[in-house]
Amino acid sequence: MKTKEIIRYINENNGMITTDEAEKLGISRMALSRLSHRGLINRISRGVYILSGELEDMQYLIQCKCHKCIFSHESALYHYGLTDRTPMKNTVTVPSNYGASHLKNLPVKIRYIKASYIDLGKIKIESSNGNLIYMYDCERTICDIIRSRNKMDFNIVNSAIREYMKSKDKDLSQLMFYAREMGIERLVIEKLGVLL
């Protein structure tokens, strides 16, 4: 593949390419390395490149480094407008049996959950740069913050639940379905009752 075609592909892919994507297209690691040395792309992490001059999409980078992670808790609350506090680190959830040491150099807070709950409420959304990432839907996020309430800022949890309850888009039946599946139905009912 010629340099112009590679650059066009990266442009069409929101300014990023991974070595896995490149190999599927027949682009060698050496070709990426040459483009990097010429200053046309920048290596922002092992196996991840962006076009020179592009802002890096940290959430997409995290997703590329960890296909099993799902953005959750504070990151999801911020995405859904249920908090106005910008998270210092991206929060992701991974299965409890998953080794996430390869994420230690990234600005990420890792939460663990039983593997049987990992896909519950998982959806695909666009990051702020237009790349597809996995995040929990709003109702799953509310269940997560109630479940993790003792490990999170009390004010963020309570404020987010109040904002959720005011929302016209809330789906209480979906919320209770997740709560039952996760074994926290009584806790969710108590928390919602206290804050109403």
- Give the tens place of pLDDT for each residue, 33-64: 888 888 888 888 778 888 887 777 889 889 98
Instruction: Tell me the whole-structure pTM to 2 decimals.
Output: 0.81
Q: Are residues 47 and 67 in the same domain?
A: no
Q: Please report the pLDDT score of residue 93 as a whole number.
A: 96
Give CA–CA dist 13/3, Å, rounded. Answer: 15
- Whether residues 80 and 50 share a domain: the answer is no
Total count of domains within the chain: 2
Bridge partners of residue 109, in order along the sequence: 91
> What is the rounded distance in angstroms from the CA atom of residue 95 to the CA atom of residue 16?
27
Q: How far is CA 133 from CA 29, 66, 67, 122, 126, in A?
A: 24, 11, 9, 10, 6
The pLDDT of residue 32 is: 87
Rounded to whole angstroms, the Cα distance separating 23 from 29 reads 8
Q: Are residues 79 and 22 in the same domain?
A: no
| Domain around 10 | 3-56
Q: Examine the domain organization and report whether 20 and 73 are in the same domain.
A: no
| pLDDT value, residue 17 | 86
> Do 71 and 8 have their domain in common?
no
In CATH, what number is assigned to the domain containing residue 29?
Answer: 1.10.10
For residue 58, give the nearest of 141, 126, 127 by alpha carbon: 127
Provide the residue-wise pLDDT of the chain in tens; the chain has 196 residues.
678 888 888 888 878 888 888 899 888 888 888 888 888 888 887 788 888 877 778 898 899 888 899 999 999 999 999 999 999 999 999 999 888 777 777 889 999 999 999 999 999 999 888 889 999 999 999 999 999 999 999 999 999 999 999 999 999 999 999 999 999 999 999 998 866 5
Domain match, 48 and 109 both = no
- Buried b / exposed e along 2-32 (16+ C-beta atoms within 10 A): eeeebbeebeeebbbbbbebbeeeebeeeeb
49 shares its domain with 73: no
Determine the 3-state secondary structure of 154 from DSSP.
Answer: helix
